[in-house]
Amino acid sequence: MPWAHPELYETWSPSNFAQTVKTPMLVVEGALDFRVADGQPFQIFTALQSRGVPSELLYFPDEGHWVLKPQNSQLWYKTVLAWLDQHLSP
C-alpha cells in the first residue's frame, strides 16, 4: 500500500521516467483504482504534455482498475480505437 512504503511508490513513479519517453501514450485513470497511487496518472500525463510527447488522458471518476460501466466502456473503446488508429497507422 502506498502509505506503508511511500518512498517505494515515489521511487518507481512513472512520472520520474517521463524525460525518457518519446512514444505517444494514452493514460487511462479510474479514480477508484486502489492499485495506482493517487495522482500518478495525472503526473505522468502532465510531464508528457510539458515535454511535447503526444498524450491523452482518459479519466473515469466512477471506475476502478477496470472500466466496467456500459457508458464508460463505450467511451473507452471509442477512445482506444481512435488512439490506435492515429498512432499505429503507416
Q: What is the CATH number of the domain that holds 83?
A: 3.40.50.1820
Number of domains in the chain: 1
Q: Is residue 1 part of a domain?
A: no
Q: Would you place residue 17 in the very low, low, confident or very high pLDDT band (cuts 50, 70, 90)?
A: confident
Q: Are 53 and 85 in contact (CB under 8 A)?
A: no
43 Cβ contact list (under 8 Å, min separation 6)? 13, 14, 15
Give the pLDDT of residue 2: 63
* N-terminal to C-terminal alpha carbon distance within the chain: 42
Residue 41 in this model has a pLDDT that exceeds 70: yes
Name the average pLDDT for the chain: 89
Q: Is residue 23 part of a domain?
A: yes
The pTM for the full model equals 0.81
Residue 56 in this model has a pLDDT that exceeds 70: yes
Q: Which structural domain, as residue segments, surrounds residue 45? A: 6-88
Q: How far apart are CA 55 and CA 90, in angstroms?
A: 19
Mean pLDDT of 30-46: 88
Contacts 24+ apart (CB under 8 A), 37-42: 37/2, 37/9, 37/13, 38/2, 40/13, 40/14, 40/15
Q: Is residue 42 part of a domain?
A: yes
- The larger pLDDT score, comparing residue 39 to residue 64, is at 64
